Amino acid sequence: MRASRPEPHTLAGAFVLDALGAADRARFERHLTRCEQCAKEIRGLAEVTARLAGAAAAEPPPGLTRRALAVAARTRQLPPLTPDRPRPWATRHVSVGGPAGRAMAWRPRLAPALAGLMVILAVVLGLAARGAQHQLRQDQLHSHAIAAVLTARDAQMISARVSTGGTATIVMSGREHALVFAARGLSALPPSRRYELWLMGPGGDKPAGMLPGPRNGMTGPVLASGLRPGDRLGLTIEPAGGSAHPTAPVIALVAL
Partner 1 sequence: MRYSAPPRARIGAATTGQDHGTPAKTSGCRCRIKSVRLEGGRVPAEPGAGTCDAHETELAVLLGRVACGDRDAFEAVCHQIAAPVFGTVRAVLRDVPQSEEVAQEVLVEVWQSASRFDRDRGSAMAWVGTIAHRRAVDRVRSERRSAQRELRAASHTVAYDDVVERAEANLDAERLRRCLGSLTDLQREAVTLAYYGGYTYRQVAALLGVAAGTVNTRMRDGLIRLRDCLGVGHEG
The DSSP code sequence of the chain is: -PPP---GGGGHHHHHTT---HHHHHHHHHHHHH-HHHHHHHHHHHHHHHHHHHHT--PPPTTHHHHHHHHHHTSPPPPPP--SPP--GGGPPPP-SSTT--GGGTTTTHHHHHHHHHHHHHHHHHHHTT-S-TTHHHHHHHHHHHHHHHT-TT-EEEEEE-TTS-EEEEEEETTTTEEEEEEESPPP--TTEEEEEEEEETTEEEEEEEPPPPBTTEEEEEEEE---TT-EEEEEEEETT--SS--S--SEEEE-
Task: Please report, as residue ranges, which positions from 171 to 210 form the binding site for partner 1 (by CB under 8 A).
Answer: 174, 202-203
Stretch of 19-27, 106-114, 183-191, 210-218 contacting partner 1, by CB under 8 A: 19-27
Task: Please report, as residue ranges, which positions from 220 to 239 form the binding site for partner 1 (by CB under 8 A).
Answer: 228-230
Q: Which is nearer to partner 1, 124 or 256 (CB)?
A: 256
Please report whether residue 104 would count as binding partner 1 according to CB under 8 A.
Answer: no
Binding-site member from 27, 35, 45, 112 for partner 1 (CB under 8 A):
45
Please report whether residue 217 would count as binding partner 1 according to CB under 8 A.
Answer: no
Q: Which is nearer to partner 1, 112 or 230 (CB)?
A: 230
Q: Which is nearer to partner 1, 119 or 170 (CB)?
A: 170
Provide the terminal-to-terminal Cα distance of the chain, rounded to the nearest Å.
37
Please report whether residue 1 would count as binding partner 1 according to CB under 8 A.
Answer: no
Binding-site member from 34, 65, 239, 247 for partner 1 (CB under 8 A):
65
Q: How many CB atoms lie within 10 A of CB 50?
A: 9
Q: Which is nearer to partner 1, 39 or 122 (CB)?
A: 39
Please report whether residue 244 would count as binding partner 1 according to CB under 8 A.
Answer: no
Please report whether residue 48 would count as binding partner 1 according to CB under 8 A.
Answer: yes
Task: Please report, as residue ranges, which positions from 68 to 97 form the binding site for partner 1 (by CB under 8 A).
Answer: 68-69, 71-73, 75-81
CB of 9 to partner 1, least distance (A): 9
CB of 170 to partner 1, least distance (A): 18
CB of 32 to partner 1, least distance (A): 12
Among 193, 192, 185, CA closest to 159: 185
Radius of gyration of the chain (CA): 20
Binding site for partner 1 (CB under 8 A): 3-4, 6, 10-14, 16-21, 24, 40, 43-61, 64-65, 67-69, 71-73, 75-81, 174, 202-203, 228-230
